[in-house]
Amino acid sequence: MSLTSDPEWWRDAVVYQIYPRSFADSNGDGIGDLPGITAKVPYLQKLGVDAVWLSPFYPSALADGGYDVDDYRAVDPKIGTLEQFDTMVAALHAAGIGVIVDIVPNHSSNQHVWFQEALASPKGSPARNRYIFRDGVGPNGDQPPTDWRAAFGGSVWEPVGDGQFYLHLFTPEQPDWNWDNPEVRADFLETLRFWSDRGVDGFRIDVASALAKDLAEPLPDKATLDAMKTGPNHPLYDRDELVEIYAEWRQVFNSYDPPRFAVGEVWLEDPARTARYATSQSLGQAFNFDLLRADFRASDFKAIVATNLEVAEMAESSSTWVLSNHDVVRHASRYGLPLTVPGAPYEGQAPTWDRDRQWLLTRGTQPPEDMVLGLSRAKAATAFILALPGSTYVYQGEELGLREVADLPDTARQDPTFFRSPGYDVGRDGCRVPIPWEPAGPSFGFGPGAAHLPQPAWFAGHSVAVEAAEPASTLWFYRQALAARRELLAGLGASAAAGRLEWLDAPDGVLHFRRGTWHCVTNFAVAEPVELPAGELVLASGDLSDGARLPEATTAWLRA
């Protein structure tokens, strides 16, 4: 796989997600920046990733961690300059690493010039028509048009003081664009060209299934809306008009050589609908987040693999595998929690999602986290997904075995979820704490000054410098896994086994599959170490017992 020689490089790429504000701070203002990323290119190269995806680095008042974009074609001065962006891209490319940037097309920020213009313009004006404005209802016209709730709490409608309200599916600082408006469509095409011209290799599309909306009267109430399945008739999500929008984007992508790539953030229940975003006429690839919500259980993992390989096949794309990102509790912590907890509100069948949130509410104290088991499972799950056909997304810090920082002081929190859902969700700051590079210093080597979110003392032992000096560390495991994967993939070449896997018999609680000569065996839940199949051991996510048998919460790769 090489960026320059293979336009299909993304199909089996390992993509490293950088949350720029929390990666590396070059100038000591506490905020990670582009020169910080450039300085760490050798680290990324040594890690062995194929591409990086940068979460938003655009000018933003940070009402939602940068997903509130003031200007889509600029760099936030707190993070760098366009020149520094070009330097960063050149350095990454020179190291053979591709660059994917985040596009946030569902909403802008309320500081965007077009939104400011809309506010300053009268009702019914073309400026207001770039967003979604509606008159208030009720006897005095001062009630929101519907009772719909926003993703981080509160109403989706914000009054502007002249009888109108605007729609925001997320925070009030994130007004939704009107995708029926040709000016809005044209402006995003220009943004895609702007970054493509600057040499980016691809795009990650935020909330990709929400852009198109049908808000014709009468609008359903919240209960009706909640009961509706997403799909062509839903007023907000997964509407058929999106096909047309992304077909236009595809023309832009294909006007470059190699064509630019895109992956959509798509959370839909119906696999066939998800596949529509992943075709070569559309974005090209769609995220699957199933593993973010799954327990560490063999049967669940197996079912998720089957469904998503099917989606990929339907779309003639490749699947994505993700265990952590900037929106969820880090997987080393998720897997350190008991799978079911008697007496807790999430006992039994309740989704993992709720359990994680409940745990965060107790600031990570109840139930207590089993850190050793959590990390073993995390590494085993990572080795499992790295052996699957498709591409893997690695979130910064997981290669250090970082856990969630669940006990941040409330005064330090930044996530709007914390402020807008008081009492039931503390939000996502705990996975966004700046990562430790050194065991000491004002921010563990993140920068010359303090970090924008406080780091816990235990970060010292997980710092890059400490782990780099320790062959038994999580960092070494990731480096070995990525290097071995590269070699094994090269061995598969263009054979059918490259895209497909075959399940082999294994005891309950164990999964064994192979792609050609590459075997992957994971012991999810068998307490007594299990026999490994014959073959040459290539990688193990933990110590093998007697050097030959696979303990619980461990994955091994073999060549056989």
Q: Which is nearer to ligand GLC, 3 or 192 (CB)?
A: 192
3-state secondary structure 137-169: ECCCCCECCCCCECCCCCECEEECCCCEEEECC
167 or 451: CB nearest Ca ion = 451
Residue 257 Cβ, how far from ligand GLC at the closest point, in Å? 30
- Of 35 and 98, the one with the shorter C-beta distance to Ca ion is 35
Instruction: Tell me, by CB under 5 A, how many residues bind Ca ion.
Output: 5
Q: Catalytic site residue 183?
A: no
- The one catalytic residue in 206, 238, 399, 552 is 206
Catalytic residue (choose from 265, 295, 369, 398):
265
Alpha-carbon span 74 to 81, nearest angstrom? 8
To which residue do tokens 């990324």 refer?
A: 44
The H or E element that residue 192 is part of is helix 182-197
Q: Which residue is nearest to ligand GLC (CB)?
A: 67
224 burial via Cβ count (<10 Å: 0-12, 13-18, 19+) = exposed
| Partner that binds at residue 104, options Ca ion, ligand GLC, none, CB closer than 5 to 8 Å by kind | ligand GLC
The residue sitting closest to Ca ion, measured at its beta carbon, is: 33
Tokens of 457: 């003392």
Asked if 156 is part of the footprint of Ca ion (rule: CB under 5 A), the reply reads no
CB of 433 to Ca ion, least distance (A): 16
29 binds, among Ca ion, ligand GLC, none (CB under 5 to 8 A by kind): Ca ion
How many Å apart are CA 523 and CA 387, to the nearest integer?
Answer: 15
CB of 84 to Ca ion, least distance (A): 11
Q: Which element (helix H / strand E) includes 301? A: helix 298-315
Q: Which does 50 bind (CB under 5 to 8 A by kind): Ca ion, ligand GLC, none?
A: none
> Could you give the CA distance from residue 229 to residue 73 in angstroms, rounded to a whole number?
35
β-strand partners of 522: 511, 555
Q: Binding to Ca ion by residue 50, rule CB under 5 A?
A: no
CB of 275 to ligand GLC, least distance (A): 20
The amino acid occupying position 85 is F
Q: Of 147, 141, 138, which Cα lies nearest the Cα of 163?
A: 141
450 contributes a contact to Ca ion by CB under 5 A:
no
The entry of Ca ion, ligand GLC, none near residue 64 (CB within 5 to 8 angstroms by kind) is ligand GLC
Q: What residues make contact with ligand GLC under the rule CB under 6 A?
A: 64-65, 67, 104, 170, 206-207, 265, 326-327
Burial of residue 157 (number of CB atoms within 10 Å: 0-12, 13-18, 19+): buried
Q: Minimum distance between the CB of residue 300 and Ca ion, rounded to whole angstroms? A: 41
Q: What 3-state DSSP class applies to 57?
A: coil
Q: Does residue 33 interact with Ca ion by CB under 5 A?
A: yes
Smallest distance, ligand GLC to C-beta of residue 550, A: 35
What is the C-alpha separation between 266 and 286, in angstroms, rounded?
6
Q: How many residues does the chain have?
A: 560
- Among ligand GLC, Ca ion, none, the one that 261 touches (CB under a kind-dependent 5 to 8 A) is none
Q: Which residue has the tokens 């996510």?
A: 541
- Residue 31: name its binding partner from Ca ion, ligand GLC, none (Cβ under 5 to 8 Å by kind): Ca ion
Q: Is 206 a catalytic residue?
A: yes
Using the rule CB under 5 A, is 415 a contact of Ca ion? no
Q: Which residues are catalytic?
A: 206, 265
